[in-house]
Structure 1
């Protein structure tokens, strides 16, 4: 969490907007890769490395900062009965995304198997983002104060900056995560 103080009158950084911006960047990078069929492995690897880091760090930042706050304030949105249901589903999705990242990493960049794994990763990530935007982010917008959204937005940005070189991805139990944060 962010240390120190911040000007209370400034509320331009919003965790919801930071997450949505990351989602846009993830979609943009998948689209970029779609345009790179026929490019050499080193070019593909460069773009893939940045996308992989973005996906892994983004998920971890959500697990550290966003979902605990959602569990505290949320009531359920987008067809989910509770913030716990939203969170459990999202953590499950994060694990699927991490597993799909691992599958991409098992194949040489540009090989047919690599592209197939990349397509599955894009599908898993796209499904997760759509659910999160319709459920957790909506629920949080409806219940969190602008001050909290600002503070968490700053913390989220600091977390991502602090882990710009990547993190060690690790699946977590969705059920245990929800129990620990209830």
Structure 2
């Protein structure tokens, strides 16, 4: 083969390898940046809010109060009843028995917890809904039921449930009961989150 042609082919091959390495580097960088980029986009648009911190949920609530939410169906009012059942020696109750909300409106209710035992206890709450058909339309943005928690002997806490009822809730549903069963568990648990300030 002609040495000049061979040198040109080698240069072309090196140039192609350089381009391919650049494309691979850009793809890797894009993939690496995708997670924080996705997180910032979701936060800006207010979606994927299950992972929001308590401060972010509070900020979301203030922002929702400051601007008219076109998703709120003000022509309907849903009565949400709160129920608490403790399986074990816990003191567990909602701060409110009922709350009137419009579908699409962000609402928050506090639950009170106390461990009267002389030992630390780890527990978790499991929610249930009535009527059953309301389950798919009751969206919790923040809830103590997402994790197991440990309370020290005699420790008391207040934790929130922040929720939105989907405006697509069937028209014949006017009352929803949110019931929690709080029971002791064994195994790994996370530290109790900070108590919500009393208003």
- Report the TM-score when normalising by structure 2: 0.27
The TM-score, its normalising length taken from structure 1, stands at 0.29
